[in-house]
């Protein structure tokens, strides 16, 4: 059993000289399928088996990771523990030896998931039908849809976390993600829209959901955007839909609350706990315990129980996202925010499900409140410099708001601004809320993280687009 | 490792496949992590895995399947071969005569392996870390120094049922440094990266010092107003823009799928005649250089754009057969730091994308600019539309040019446009090239500074 193996690795690390060690072992099966233009660009499955050992030695960290081979795993694990301690010793030579962590009471637990259709027993052929179905439905929607592509990803298996302060956690994984991209064309004009969904579930989820819904949504929007005019530019009052509001919350606020950025002075939220940094209506959570949440887990990758973190409450900055080390350094209560992309990466301070809490405006009331401005929907992604406090996102769809009503569509709208100024300019918050699955990247580690929120109205935002 | 690959091939043959290919990588990555002025962590990762691809035949049609495993015991390899065969059942190849490459050419490329890299001791490494910190700590305004020094050594092995059997070692040396400077309440950042095949201690210190100087030069930044002005792009900014746009558009796969604006443009003028772009997979010492591509075809040099005229797309084995051409050795299984090529299916992609240098110095490039900006680093290029080439990025490190001189650092400027428009408006090319990382850890963009007229810059 991989938990026993992880415990052995912890003991090896202690014997080699670690003061503290944590170990993660993963044995999982993954599937990735990409279907576009009536063919599969990717249809592959893989068997992943590996160990990651982190050792604290003389106030510095060593980390070692290794792929594992069945029947020889104990030798590999022992070697990884040896290399981790050796690396930690070497790092400590010129280190300030300041690394230290919060220790916890021993805990032994399981984070199980009940599935009806085990992903590892479903043939890849059956999984390949999912993207085909989505793509076919998308293409049939309208003659203007010239192409469509879809992605299907899943993983299932077990992950063990063991630490030298006695955490022994076994986590069962079963995760499914799919997305569709619809491309519409009229004359020379091309538009594309992306819809995605993710579940912590077995394959039975496809008996419950209607795949058509995602296909039709993507197709409908792509066709609508064909009517779009070139984007306006300048400063505008704006309504952000739950997707782009979620992206803003995640990219601009969530990352700035990550305590490693706080410690290295790379966040604009340094030394701001207790300050009013947003308008009073703004309450933002990062919740690892969100039921069925895409980024949810009962324990983090340092074996620490997770929780619902209140990042901003009524505009006041309340809490950072912490791991064992940043909690120690800042003298704060650890809130279980350490996550790693896989066994091969050391855990970092990460978000789980970050979202803006809904208030009381209906969508019509938001339109009325904005009167003249733009309505931006969906996100093609974006980037943030947490040190400078600036963000930039590209929207999927955008519309002018004219006399309190949605008017003509605009294409190529990108938003940018200062994070702190924008937070203070949120003046009305909707009562709807949506959560969306995503993959968040930090230091080359991509992990599943959810984001969400209601529709929000912002006093002013910079619209770039093409001029 | 070849023994395991041959085992996978033999087992595939027992499953009655038409052709089989097995690829393995074995890698070792050592990273020194400096966080907030301190040597914080050393990481030591080892990885090995095996990927199988099969072509199967059913009623005269060909099908392709693939699967991989990190668990290299024989049961797991057998399961992987079966998984590959199973995944092929449903995946018909959309052209006939599909085949893996069958080259027997023996080719070597110089300067892609430095035996020093796998032999550096961890003690030497921390010593370098200490000196990186000293090099960046120029003055009291330097607030925070963060750096990664990465040493990668890896072997790629590939065999296929047409008799291809290769195996070669490579190394990568990468130093990236980020420095935060502070003046009163203002923070600024500077990032520099150096990447090469060969270990070079001195470059680590130069990179650290350059990052510190960039951070300091960004203090007292000002906003500028939106207008259409001349822009000089540094190699870092050009690479960032090209990797998500042009690099995607020149792939034969993109063209065949109608996802490239370059479709039908062979032998047509697509950019300024100052632009010549070459893809060369076997130049000495470059990050994207290797004797064979990731499906075993020998790499080669080809001109993509010659004085503004599009000459070819980039082909791997399948996209070449589909177009009745031959592979140009551009098959790539993209990788992150941990070289896990076995887990990724190959695609056509640039190796080293090289923009031919001109003869201008940096001073001569900016000399005639009355009003413009020099952009060193951009963020947000990954949101570009690869199909149309539209992009909109934030100029994170930029300087205002007035009257032919650099005047002051610029805050929060955005640049938007279309990559092909941008290449049409090229007005001058620098003479000093820099190698920058492209999308895969083993691919590069090598380019000098480029001056572009009439770019939309917004505040």
Q: Concatenated DSSP letters for B289-351?
A: --SB-TTSPBP-EEEEEETTEE---B--HHHHHHTT----S-EE----SS--GGGS--EE--S
> Are A215 and A99 within one domain?
yes
First vs last Cα of chain B: how many Å apart? 55
Q: How far is A233 from chain B (nearest CA, A)?
A: 9
The residue with tokens 């746009």 is B245
Second-level CATH architecture of B2-217: 2-Layer Sandwich (3.30)
> Are A61 and A92 within one domain?
yes
Segment B427-441, tens digit of pLDDT: 999 999 999 999 999
Determine the pLDDT at residue A282.
97
> Are A201 and A248 within one domain?
no
**Contact with chain B for residue A116, Cβ under 8 A:** no
Residue B157 token pair: 């092995």
> Are A207 and A138 within one domain?
yes
Residue A455 token pair: 């529709």
Determine the pLDDT at residue A265.
77
Report chain A residues whose CB lies below 8 A from the CB of B35.
Answer: 260, 264
Determine the pLDDT at residue B385.
84
Task: Give the closest residue to A285 by CA, choosing from A322, A243, A253, A251.
Answer: A253
Residue A389 token pair: 């406090």
Candidate from B47, B65, B92 with C-beta closest to A67: B47
Determine the pLDDT at residue B340.
95
Helices (H), B359-418: 362-367
Distance set, CA A320 to CA A257, A349, A350, A388 (Å):
5, 10, 11, 18
Sheet holding B309-310, edge to edge: B309-310, B301-306, B277-280, B352-355, B444-447, B434-437
Q: Backbone phi, then psi, for A407, in 5-degree steps?
A: -110, -140
- Domain at A92, CATH number: 3.30.2290.10
- CA A158, A43, A378, B416 dihedral sign is positive
Listed in sequence order, the residues at least 6 apart from B417 whose beta carbon sits closer than 8 Å to its beta carbon are: A466, B390, B391, B455, B456
pLDDT band at A464 (very low <50, low <70, confident <90, very high): confident
Cα–Cα distance, A131 to B387 (Å, whole number): 21
A to B CB pairs, distance under 8 Å: 253
What are A453's strand-pairing partners? A434
pLDDT band at B386 (very low <50, low <70, confident <90, very high): confident
- pLDDT mean over B117-121: 96
Question: Domain end: A180, A205, A226, which one?
Answer: A226
**Contact with chain B for residue A364, Cβ under 8 A:** no
Q: Per-domain residue ranges for chain B?
A: 2-217, 227-458
Mean pLDDT value across chain B: 95
Candidate from B90, B343, B379 with C-beta closest to A385: B379
Work out the percent of chain B whose per-residue pLDDT is above 70. Answer: 100
**Contact with chain A for residue B370, Cβ under 8 A:** no
Q: How far is A467 from chain B (nearest CA, A)?
A: 6
Segment A211-226, tens digit of pLDDT: 999 999 999 999 999 9
If you measure CA to CA, which chain B residue comes closest to A443?
A: B148
Report chain B residues whose CB lies below 8 A from the CB of A42.
Answer: 66, 345
ipTM of the complex: 0.92
What's the half-sphere exposure (Cβ side, CA atoms, 13 Å) at B400? 20
Least confident of A428-432, B59-63, B149-153: B59-63
Q: Backbone phi, then psi, for B275, in 5-degree steps?
A: -95, 120
> Are A208 and A247 within one domain?
no
Answer whether A33's CB lies under 8 Å from A127's CB.
Answer: yes
Answer whether A93's CB lies under 8 Å from A84's CB.
Answer: no
Candidate from A47, A67, A90 with C-beta closest to B125: A90
Candidate from A43, A147, A264 with C-beta closest to B258: A147
pLDDT band at A467 (very low <50, low <70, confident <90, very high): very low
Answer whether B145's CB lies under 8 Å from B208's CB.
Answer: yes
pLDDT band at A74 (very low <50, low <70, confident <90, very high): very high
pTM: 0.92
If you measure CA to CA, which chain A residue comes closest to B39?
A: A95
Question: Domain end: A197, A226, A255, which one?
Answer: A226
pLDDT at A463 over 50: yes
**Contact with chain B for residue A394, Cβ under 8 A:** yes
Determine the pLDDT at residue A466.
41
Cβ separation A47–B35 shorter than 8 A: no
> Are A177 and A293 within one domain?
no
pLDDT at B384 over 90: no
Work out the percent of chain A whose per-residue pLDDT is above 90. Answer: 85
Q: Concatenated DSSP letters for A53-105?
A: EEEEETTEEEEEEEE--TTSHHHHHHHHHHHHHHHHHHHHTTS----------
If you measure CA to CA, which chain B residue comes closest to A79?
A: B46
Question: Domain end: A180, A208, A226, which one?
Answer: A226
pLDDT at A200 over 50: yes
- pLDDT mean over B224-235: 95
Candidate from B39, B69, B122 with C-beta closest to A95: B39
Alpha-carbon torsion, ordered A218, A223, A224, A226, to 10 deg: 130
pLDDT at B295 over 50: yes
Mean pLDDT value across chain A: 94
pLDDT at A13 over 80: yes
Determine the pLDDT at residue B361.
97
pLDDT band at A201 (very low <50, low <70, confident <90, very high): very high
Residue B379 token pair: 């963020």
> Are A343 and A374 within one domain?
yes
Helix pair B122-136, B201-217: axis angle to 10 deg: 30
Between strands A20-36 and A338-339, the pairing is: unpaired
- pLDDT mean over A139-160: 95
> Are A279 and A142 within one domain?
no
Report chain A residues whose CB lies below 8 A from the CB of B121.
Answer: 90
Cα–Cα distance, A310 to A319 (Å, whole number): 6
Alpha-carbon torsion, ordered A422, A267, B394, A243, to 10 deg: -50
What is the span of the domain harbouring residue A259?
229-463
- pLDDT mean over B283-308: 97
The residue with tokens 């020149």 is B250
Answer whether A27's CB lies under 8 Å from A315's CB.
Answer: no
Residue B57 token pair: 């035949």
Return the residue in B72, B82, B87, B263 with the most chain A beta carbons within 10 A, the one to mutate for interface testing: B87
Report chain A residues whose CB lies below 8 A from the CB of B45.
Answer: 64-66, 344
Cα–Cα distance, B299 to B327 (Å, whole number): 9
Does B50 or A414 have the greater pLDDT score? B50
**Contact with chain B for residue A385, Cβ under 8 A:** yes
Determine the pLDDT at residue A381.
77
Cβ separation A266–B180 shorter than 8 A: yes
Report chain A residues whose CB lies below 8 A from the CB of B187.
Answer: 265, 387-388
pLDDT band at A331 (very low <50, low <70, confident <90, very high): very high
pLDDT at A230 over 90: no
> Are A194 and A257 within one domain?
no
Does A153 or B186 have the greater pLDDT score? A153
Determine the pLDDT at residue A313.
98
Q: How far is B237 from chain A (nearest CA, A)?
A: 15
What are B142's strand-pairing partners? B181
- pLDDT mean over B164-179: 97
SS3 B31: strand
Candidate from B68, B72, B416 with C-beta closest to A466: B416
Does A456 or B1 have the greater pLDDT score? A456
Cα–Cα distance, A66 to A342 (Å, whole number): 11
**Contact with chain B for residue A46, Cβ under 8 A:** yes
Determine the pLDDT at residue B105.
86
If you measure CA to CA, which chain A residue comes closest to B75?
A: A70
> Are A449 and A325 within one domain?
yes
- pLDDT mean over B153-171: 97
> Are A38 and A162 within one domain?
yes
**Contact with chain A for residue B187, Cβ under 8 A:** yes
Cα–Cα distance, B27 to A340 (Å, whole number): 20
Residue A46 token pair: 């893989």
pLDDT band at A338 (very low <50, low <70, confident <90, very high): very high
What's the number of domains chain A is made of? Answer: 2
Candidate from B83, B122, B143 with C-beta closest to A90: B122
SS3 A33: strand
């Amino acid at each position: 059993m991989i938990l026993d193996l992880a415990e052995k690795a912890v003991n090896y690390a202690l014997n080699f000289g670690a003061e503290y060690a944590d170990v993660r072992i993963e044995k999982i099966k993954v599937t990735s399928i990409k279907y576009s233009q009536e063919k599969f660009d990717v249809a592959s499955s893989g068997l992943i088996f590996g160990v990651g050992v982190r050792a604290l030695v003389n106030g510095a960290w060593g980390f070692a990771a290794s792929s594992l081979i069945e029947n020889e795993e104990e030798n590999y694990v022992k070697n990884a523990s040896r290399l981790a301690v050796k690396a930690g010793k070497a790092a400590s030579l010129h280190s300030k030896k300041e690394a230290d962590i919060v220790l916890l009471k021993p805990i032994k637990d399981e984070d199980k998931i009940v599935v009806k259709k085990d992903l590892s027993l479903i043939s890849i052929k059956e999984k390949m039908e999912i993207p085909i179905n989505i793509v076919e439905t998308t293409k049939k929607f309208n003659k203007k849809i010239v192409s469509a592509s879809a992605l299907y990803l899943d993983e299932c298996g077990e992950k063990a976390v063991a630490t030298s302060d006695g955490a022994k956690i076994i986590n069962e994984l079963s995760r499914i993600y799919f997305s569709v991209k619809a491309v519409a064309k009229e004359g020379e004009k091309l538009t594309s829209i992306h819809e995605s969904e993710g579940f912590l579930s077995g394959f039975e989820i496809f008996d419950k959901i209607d795949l058509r819904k995602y296909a039709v949504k993507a197709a409908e929007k792509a066709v609508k955007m064909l009517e779009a005019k070139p984007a306006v530019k300048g400063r505008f009052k704006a309504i952000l839909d739950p997707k782009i509001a979620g992206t803003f919350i995640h990219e601009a606020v969530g990352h700035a609350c990550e305590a490693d950025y706080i410690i290295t002075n790379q966040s604009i939220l340094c030394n701001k706990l207790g300050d009013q940094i947003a308008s009073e209506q703004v309450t933002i959570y990062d919740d690892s315990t969100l039921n069925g949440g895409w980024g949810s887990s009962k324990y983090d990758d340092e074996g620490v129980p997770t929780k619902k973190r209140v990042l901003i409450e009524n505009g006041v900055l309340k809490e950072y996202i912490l791991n064992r080390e940043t909690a120690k350094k800042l003298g704060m209560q650890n809130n279980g925010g350490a996550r790693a992309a896989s066994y091969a990466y050391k855990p970092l301070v990460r978000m789980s499900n970050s979202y803006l809490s809904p208030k009381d405006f209906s969508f019509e009331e938001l339109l009325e409140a904005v009167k003249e401005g733009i309505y931006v929907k969906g996100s093609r992604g974006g980037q943030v410099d947490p040190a400078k406090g600036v963000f930039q996102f590209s929207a999927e769809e955008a519309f002018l708001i004219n006399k309190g009503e949605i008017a003509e569509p605009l294409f190529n709208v990108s938003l940018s601004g200062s994070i702190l100024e924008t937070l203070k300019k949120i003046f009305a918050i909707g009562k709807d809320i949506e959560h969306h699955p995503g993959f968040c990247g930090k230091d080359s580690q991509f992990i599943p993280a959810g984001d969400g929120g209601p529709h929000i109205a912002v006093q002013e935002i910079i619209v770039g687009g093409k001029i | 490792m070849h023994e395991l690959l041959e085992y996978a091939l033999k087992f595939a043959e027992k499953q009655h496949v038409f052709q089989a290919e097995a690829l393995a990588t074995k890698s070792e990555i050592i990273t020194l992590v400096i966080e907030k002025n301190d040597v914080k962590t050393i990481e030591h990762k080892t990885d090995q895995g095996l990927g199988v691809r099969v072509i199967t035949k059913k009623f005269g049609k060909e099908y392709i399947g693939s699967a991989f495993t990190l668990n290299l015991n024989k049961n797991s390899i057998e399961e992987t071969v079966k998984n590959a065969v199973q995944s092929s059942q449903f995946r018909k190849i959309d052209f006939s005569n599909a085949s893996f490459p069958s080259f027997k050419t023996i080719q070597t490329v110089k300067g892609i392996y430095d035996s020093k890299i796998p032999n550096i001791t961890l003690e030497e490494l921390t010593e370098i870390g200490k000196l990186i910190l000293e090099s960046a700590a120029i003055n009291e305004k330097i607030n925070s120094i963060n750096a990664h020094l990465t040493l990668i050594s890896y072997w790629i092995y590939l065999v296929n049922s047409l008799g291809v059997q290769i195996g070669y070692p490579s190394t990568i040396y990468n130093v990236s440094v980020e420095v935060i400077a502070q003046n009163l309440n203002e923070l600024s950042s500077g990032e520099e990266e150096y990447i090469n095949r060969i270990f070079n201690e001195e470059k680590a210190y130069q990179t650290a010092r350059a990052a510190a100087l960039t951070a300091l030069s960004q203090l007292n930044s000002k906003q500028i107003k939106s207008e259409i002005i001349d822009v000089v792009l540094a190699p870092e900014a050009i690479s960032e823009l090209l990797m998500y746009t042009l690099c995607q558009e020149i792939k034969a796969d993109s063209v065949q799928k109608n996802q490239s604006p370059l479709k039908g443009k062979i032998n047509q003028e697509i950019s300024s005649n100052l632009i010549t772009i070459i893809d060369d997979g076997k130049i000495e010492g470059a990050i994207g250089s290797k004797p064979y591509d990731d499906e075993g075809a020998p790499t080669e040099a080809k001109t993509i754009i010659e004085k503004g005229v599009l000459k070819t797309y980039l082909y791997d084995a399948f996209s070449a057969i589909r177009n009745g051409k031959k592979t140009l050795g551009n098959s790539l299984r993209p990788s992150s730091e941990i070289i896990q090529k076995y887990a990724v299916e190959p695609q056509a992609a640039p190796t080293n994308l090289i923009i031919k240098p001109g003869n201008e110095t940096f001073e001569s490039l900016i000399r005639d600019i009355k009003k413009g900006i020099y952009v060193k680093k951009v963020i947000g290029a990954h949101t570009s539309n690869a199909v149309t080439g539209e992009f909109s990025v934030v100029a994170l490190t930029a300087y205002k040019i007035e009257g032919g001189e650099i005047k002051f650092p610029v805050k929060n400027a955005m640049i938007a446009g279309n990559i092909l428009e941008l290449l049409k408006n090229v007005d001058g090319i620098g003479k000093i090239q820099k190698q920058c990382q492209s999308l895969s850890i083993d691919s590069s963009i090598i380019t000098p500074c480029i001056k572009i007229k009439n770019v939309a810059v917004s505040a």
